[in-house]
């Protein structure tokens, strides 16, 4: 067993998060080759990505609760084993249905991983400043994995074929599992509690229906979308009733009330802005400026490096000085500035003038936001609730991203129709996210002023 367990736990947690993000990004790069090989039509092809996102987002809370009950290391290992096996199944898929099934299973298994990782990191680092630095490094691995996935995915598709985008995960995860077994101490499970099946089913169903409704709105039509969202609302209401009546609820009320509730909303806004800006910047670079997919990935690389730098280095020094909520306010202001910059994009624009400044400000905001908000969400949470708290943090980003892209696509379409150009639509979408970031900053700032001046609390 390594002598310095906290460092080892942080290192392996960051590697695991890196692999998850790399897998998701590289799968997106492989979509054209998958469509050609397996004969997907456009509507079915999106399920290679949507299927993963659906089960991943829907099962995060249940995955977090499972880790709290059986032990976070055990939950992490189960999730990684299932992830590696489902990646293998997807890599050898001989039909579209088999591939989509494997991606659904991969998303479900991945849902157990981030909550357990956050619980392990927050459990290993008790001292506030050390925890802030550790979470900054951990969140920086998210951006690094996404960037590596774009590059690695393109290389693997060209050099070996799309199947290796999935197959490469299996040996990498196998090595990671061996390292975790060797170097991460077991975490104690919570005895005398249950999984809360009713709460898990209603929460999972509500999140799944919400994600499905917003991501499939254009394909399903208004009537089916309304039905799906109504089902989501009904299941969410049922979840609230179940949790209030339960003796050991999956999601205790203190995790979603008061100042923490405002932090969770801010986290959702960050997820929305992050997903939306990557989506529309990619479209602008390719459809307006004429960049190739590879050049688009390289154009986004400065933003990735900025996000990593602010997450790993700037955040760790700033957070102990001003507190997690004020850093959250600062991050939302940076997001607003970046989105306002991008809202000025022109049809005859250039990367250096119209794009670079906007993505750098936005990436800096994300780099400050993720460590600060993860500290705020998990601070003061009992050890047997850290998995659910971590799941809340990750689920907020996933839901925000899913809702954000769907809503912003509609806003962009309205702007294009009114302005007569794609750029007008993109500008309106960026302006909308800037306004949303401003609202989040003001709300979080007011809440912080009204409450006690926040410092990074002891766990």
Task: Give the residue, 149 or 294, on which the prediction is more confident.
Answer: 149
Q: Mean pLDDT across the chain, nearest whole number?
A: 83
pLDDT at residue number 459: 39
Q: E strand or H helix at 282, and its extent?
A: helix 258-283
Same domain, 343 and 244: no
Q: How far apart are CA 446 and CA 440, in angstroms?
A: 10
pLDDT at residue number 3: 44
Share of the chain above pLDDT 70, in %: 92
- The pLDDT of residue 457 is above 50: no
- Average pLDDT, integer, range 170-192: 83
* Structural domain that includes position 307: 252-459
pLDDT at residue number 390: 80
DSSP summary character for residue 351: I
- Average pLDDT, integer, range 197-204: 80
Three-state DSSP at 46 gives coil
pLDDT at residue number 36: 83
pLDDT at residue number 341: 97
Residues 329-343: tens digit of each pLDDT: 999 999 999 999 999
Q: How far apart are CA 442 and CA 430, in angstroms?
A: 19
- The pLDDT of residue 374 is above 50: yes
Same domain, 236 and 332: no
Residues 261-310: tens digit of each pLDDT: 888 899 889 988 888 887 788 788 878 898 876 677 788 888 888 988 89
pLDDT at residue number 43: 63
Same domain, 236 and 339: no
Same domain, 188 and 208: no
Task: Give the residue, 288 or 150, on which the prediction is more confident.
Answer: 288
Same domain, 377 and 419: yes
Domain boundary pick from 195, 221, 239: 195
Domain boundary pick from 249, 264, 285: 249
Q: What is the CATH number of the domain that holds 27?
A: 1.20.1250.20
Same domain, 146 and 3: yes
Same domain, 172 and 223: no
- Looking at the chain, the number of H-run helices and the number of E-run strands are 21, 0
Same domain, 297 and 355: yes
Three-state secondary structure readout of 210-238: HHHHHHCHHHHCHHHHHHHHHHHHHHHHH
Same domain, 28 and 125: yes
Same domain, 300 and 176: no
Same domain, 380 and 260: yes
Q: Which of 38, 19, 235 lies closest to 106 in space, CA to CA?
A: 19
Contact 375, 319 (CB under 8 A): yes
- The pLDDT of residue 79 is above 90: yes
Angle value at C-alpha 333, between 125 and 301, nearest 5 degrees = 75
Domain boundary pick from 249, 270, 286: 249
- The pLDDT of residue 258 is above 80: no
């Amino acid at each position: 067993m390594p002598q310095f367990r906290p460092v080892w736990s942080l290192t392996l947690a960051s590697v695991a998060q890196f692999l998850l993000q790399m897998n998701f990004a590289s799968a997106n790069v492989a979509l054209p080759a998958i469509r050609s090989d397996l004969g997907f039509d456009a509507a079915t092809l999106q399920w290679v990505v949507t299927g993963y996102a659906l089960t991943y987002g829907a099962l995060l809370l249940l995955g977090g609760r499972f880790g709290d009950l059986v032990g976070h290391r055990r939950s992490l290992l189960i999730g990684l084993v299932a992830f590696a096996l489902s990646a293998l199944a997807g890599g050898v898929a001989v039909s579209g249905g088999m591939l989509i099934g494997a991606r659904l299973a991969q998303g479900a298994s991945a849902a157990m991983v981030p909550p357990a990782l956050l619980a392990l990191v927050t459990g290993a680092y008790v001292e506030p400043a050390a925890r802030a630095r550790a979470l900054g490094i951990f969140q920086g691995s998210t951006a690094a994995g996404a960037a590596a996935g774009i590059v690695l995915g393109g290389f693997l598709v060209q050099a070996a074929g799309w199947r290796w985008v999935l197959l490469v995960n299996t040996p990498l995860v196998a090595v990671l599992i061996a390292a975790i077994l060797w170097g991460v101490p077991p975490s104690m499970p919570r005895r005398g509690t249950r999984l809360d099946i009713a709460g898990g089913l209603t929460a999972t169903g509500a999140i799944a229906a919400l994600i499905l409704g917003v991501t499939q709105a254009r394909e399903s039509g208004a009537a089916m979308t309304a039905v799906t969202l109504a089902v989501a609302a009904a299941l969410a209401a049922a979840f609230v009733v179940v949790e209030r009546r339960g003796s050991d609820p999956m999601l205790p009320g203190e995790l979603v009330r008061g100042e923490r509730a405002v932090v969770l909303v801010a986290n959702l806004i960050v997820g929305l802005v992050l997903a939306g800006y990557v989506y529309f910047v990619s479209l602008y670079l390719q459809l307006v400026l004429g960049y190739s997919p590879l050049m688009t990935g390289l154009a986004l690389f400065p933003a990735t490096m900025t996000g990593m730098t602010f997450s790993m280095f700037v955040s760790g020094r700033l957070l102990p000085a001003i507190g997690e909520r004020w850093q959250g306010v600062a991050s939302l202001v940076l997001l607003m500035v970046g989105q306002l910059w991008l809202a000025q994009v022109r049809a005859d624009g250039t990367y250096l003038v119209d794009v670079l400044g906007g993505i750098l400000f936005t990436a800096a905001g994300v780099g400050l936001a993720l460590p600060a908000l993860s500290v705020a969400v998990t601070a003061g949470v009992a050890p047997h609730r850290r998995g659910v708290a971590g799941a809340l943090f990750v689920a907020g980003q996933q839901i925000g991203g899913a809702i954000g892209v769907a809503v912003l696509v509609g806003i962009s379409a309205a702007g294009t129709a009114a302005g007569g150009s794609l750029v007008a639509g993109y500008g309106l979408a960026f302006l909308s996210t800037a306004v949303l970031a401003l609202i989040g900053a003001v709300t979080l700032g007011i809440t912080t002023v009204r409450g006690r001046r926040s410092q990074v609390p002891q766990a």
